[in-house]
Structure 1
Amino acid sequence: MSTKASGRPLTDADYERLAEFRYLLRRFLLFSEGAAEEAGLTAQQHQALLAIKGFGQKKTMTTGDLAERLGIRPHSAVGLIDRLLSNALVKRQTGSEDRRQVLLTLTPKAEKLLAQLSAAHRDELERLAPLLQTLLTHFKPKA
């Protein structure tokens, strides 16, 4: 992670916008955590379901992919997958080409739950979008 600045001095308005941006992000994360909890999931379980669904149609997610997407260690991903399995939210399959690979897919139960959660998240993002857009337009790179 680089913390090298552009060399352009920060203004008081920059600090205010950065603080507001962090506040809006935190509000969204709190909303997300609460929505997951209401659905009977932890925030991390919700993130895992979304990561698996959003990984794409052409490639099935592996345990390593999930660990990378969530920023956790592979052994933590295995524990998370085990909890999702015990709640009938994911299926685990052995890779056909590489038998060491574990491939993850969502169950119909997880698909339904994730669709409800994602619709609520989309609505919340649409509500926050004008505020975020206003903040982000002030941080466009100078030509």
Structure 2
Amino acid sequence: MPDASPLTKQDFQRLSHFRYQLRCFLRQSEDICREHGLTPLQYQLLLHLMGFEGREWATVGELAERLQAKHHGTVMLVDRCEELSLVERRPGRADRRRMEVHLLSRGAELARCIAERHQPELHHLQEEFHLPGWPELSAE
């Protein structure tokens, strides 16, 4: 690692502010999820299924990566979501040994409701940090 300049007070203040704003968002998100009867991880699983690029399903391994979780923990999370009729596993179309996790209508509806509740805070974060490269959030 090349010699880095020592961190300044301003560097610490900037990082502290960022972590504070991030924690405020996460705390609010946790409250919203609980109001809808889900854990934050259950919501994140639904969100990643809704937002998976190029298709309407994902494998457990892909979900584990998105959640930054262990494979076996993600399997247990999918099990719990399946018990709640939020998702279902289906054999893969191309490879029947590979299981696909699909969002069910109840899971999709919960994901939409919770995501809508997150929009004001996302707008706040976008403005607060002047996040270049982030797509502009719709005002809807």
2:32 counterpart of 1:66: no
Give 2:85's aligned amino acid: A
CA RMSD of aligned residues (A): 1.9
Q: Which residue of 25, 36, 55 corresponds with 1:28?
A: 25
TM-score by length of structure 1 reads: 0.84
- 1:1-143 equivalences under 5 Å are 7-58=4-55, 60-133=57-130
Q: Normalising to structure 2: TM-score of the pair?
A: 0.86
Aligned-partner residue type, residue 121 of structure 2: E
Question: Runs in 1 of length 4+ with deviation above 6 angstroms?
Answer: none
Q: 1:16 to 1:101 in 2, by over 3 A?
A: same
Structure 1, residues 54-78: CA drift from partner, whole Å, max 9, x if none?
Answer: 1123363001111111111211111
Task: Tell me the percent identity.
Answer: 39
Instruction: Name structure 2 gaps, 5 residues minimum.
Output: 133-140
Count residues with an aligned counterpart: 132
Gaps of at least 5 residues in structure 1 are 138-143
Provide the rounded CA distance (Å) in 1 between the counterparts of 2:62 and 2:123. 29
Distance in structure 1 (CA, Å) of the matches to 2:24 and 2:2? 26
